[in-house]
Structure formats: C-alpha cells, structure tokens
C-alpha cells in the first residue's frame, strides 16, 4: 500500500481487526465489461446499507478501493465502481482526461454504467437494497450529483471536490437523494458562479441539500497522493488533512441520518 493510503487508513480506520471480505467483480453495461471492487465486513450479521464509490478522473485505483474499505470497516457494503471499463486507471492527466471524456461525451453512458453498478450492489445477499447511497471524488463527485439530479433512487449522495456545472439541471420534485457537497473553498476548478447556480438549482428543485466550503482547501483535498500527482501533472491539486477529516465526518453524519430513519 502506498504511504499516503496507509496514512489514510491509520487516521480514519475505527478498527484494524475488521473481518473484511474483498472481491474483484466483473459486471456488464452494454457491451463493456466493468471491473469493480466489492468489500464488506464478514462479522456483520444483518443486511447492511450499500455505498457506491465513484472514482476520480484517474480511474478505479487504490485510492477509491481504500475509501471502499473504510466504509466496509464502518458496517457498509461498498462497491468501488468502474466507470471506464476494464478497470482502467492512470496517473497521467492526459490519459485520465481521455478516459473521462470517453464517458461524458456519450449521452447516457455514465448513467448506464452507474446503474449497472447499483444493480450489482443491490443484488448482494448482505445488502439492504432499500438503503443505497453513493459518494464520488472529482469526476466521481460530478457523477453522483448528476445521478441525484436525474432522480436515481438513492438515499443520499456525497460529492467530494466534484464539478457542479451541468447541462441537465434537476427538475422540481425529481431529486430523491439527500445531497451533500463537500468543496474546497480555494478550488480553482469550482467557480463562485457555479456554486451560486448550483444552490439556486437545488432550491428550485426542492432538493434537500447541504453545501460545505473548506477554507484553504483546493481541488483533490481528500487524496493523500494529490500533492504528488499535482506536481507530476502540473495541476493545482493538494491534500488537506483537516478538510479530509471534516468532510468524511460530514458524510458519515449524513449516512447516520438517512439510514437510521
């Protein structure tokens, strides 16, 4: 495990003794084979809520898997989703941009792949199919927000440093999920205008949402590898331990609320 991911596990893990069951899973969306990562705690006897974890634009990498493991340690069944197909990932921005554009430039493709993952998670014997949430980082954050906008049946979505701009704003009464947006106040990729427009959109749609800005945090603030990746790719991204800790706690508070209703 990379040093940054090990640090993440040590900071956030409530127990290093959890009986985690980890499984690489293949599933289909159209003609594309997707390769996800499913993890849960074998020691939990009852059906558990399920959480979909949607990766950054880098693809389904160790960081997304580690977040899934962290959720499993807390009693959730987590599926780290493959949005690109064949488990593709890269640490090069040019590759990541190509992977991302291959999805977002094709209408309906992101939805098809997200729903395929959601169906897979709901079908797991240890999952309560009526209690499904989704979280996402960067590209994944924008993805889960768009799923909420479309009215996908989710209890909650949490977007970490995700893009807020959309060509298909939520319609009044359509949003089912409670929405949590966790944003770096100094994120150069998220403009003040996009925040204003997002909040107006959510209000007009009648959505239950919360928007949180973390002072001093920039894009990628939850990922311990952001500094290294930013330097290698000349990108203004960086890790912020305090914002990471606070945003994770905010997500857990949201889950406690929606899943215990």
pLDDT tens column, 57-78: 999 999 999 999 999 999 999 9
Per cent of the chain over pLDDT 90 is: 90
Q: What are phi and psi of 191, to 5 degrees?
A: -85, 160
Helix/strand/coil for 37 = strand
Give residue-wise pLDDT tens across range 184-228.
999 999 999 999 999 999 999 999 999 999 999 999 999 999 999
Using the predicted structure, report yes or no on whether residue 3 has a pLDDT greater than 80: no
Separation of alpha carbons 101 and 67, rounded Å: 24
Domains and CATH numbers, the chain: 3-259 (3.40.50.1820)
What is the crossing angle of helices 3-12 and 241-259, to 10°?
A: 50
Average pLDDT for 235-253: 98
Q: How confident is the model at residue 1 (pLDDT cuts 50, 70, 90)?
A: very low
pTM reported for the whole predicted model: 0.93
Exposed e or buried b for every residue in 66-100, given b needs 16+ CB within 10 A? bbbbbbbbbbbbbbbbbbbbebbbbeebeebeebb
Question: Residue 243 above 80 pLDDT?
Answer: yes
pLDDT tens-digit readout, 90-140: 999 999 999 999 999 998 999 999 999 999 999 999 999 999 999 999 999
pLDDT tens digits for range 10-23: 556 554 556 899 99
- Tell me if 254 sits within 8 A of 178, measured CB to CB: yes
């Amino acid at each position: 495990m990379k040093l940054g991911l090990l640090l993440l596990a040590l900071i956030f893990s409530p127990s290093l003794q959890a009986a985690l069951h980890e499984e690489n899973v293949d599933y289909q969306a159209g003609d594309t084979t997707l390769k996800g990562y499913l993890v849960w705690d074998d020691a939990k006897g009852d059906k558990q809520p399920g959480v979909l974890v949607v990766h950054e634009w880098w693809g389904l990498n160790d960081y997304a898997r580690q977040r899934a493991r962290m959720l499993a340690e807390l009693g959730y069944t987590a599926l780290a989703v493959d949005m690109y197909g064949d488990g593709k990932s890269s640490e090069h921005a040019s590759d990541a941009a190509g992977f991302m554009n291959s999805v977002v430039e094709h209408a309906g493709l992101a939805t098809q792949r997200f729903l395929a993952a959601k169906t897979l998670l709901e079908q797991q014997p240890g999952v309560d199919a009526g209690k499904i949430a989704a979280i996402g980082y960067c590209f994944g954050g924008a993805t889960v927000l768009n799923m909420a906008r479309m009215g996908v049946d989710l209890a909650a979505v949490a977007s970490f440093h995700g893009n807020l701009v959309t060509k298909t704003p939520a319609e009044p009464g359509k949003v089912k999920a409670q929405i949590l947006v966790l944003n770096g106040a100094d994120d150069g990729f998220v403009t003040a205008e996009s925040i204003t427009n997002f909040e107006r959109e959510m209000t007009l749609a009648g959505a239950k949402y919360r928007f949180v800005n973390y002072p001093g945090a920039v894009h990628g603030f939850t990922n311990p590898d952001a500094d290294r990746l930013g330097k290698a790719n000349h990108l203004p991204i960086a890790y912020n331990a305090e914002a990471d800790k606070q945003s994770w706690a905010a997500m857990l508070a949201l889950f406690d609320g929606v899943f215990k209703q």
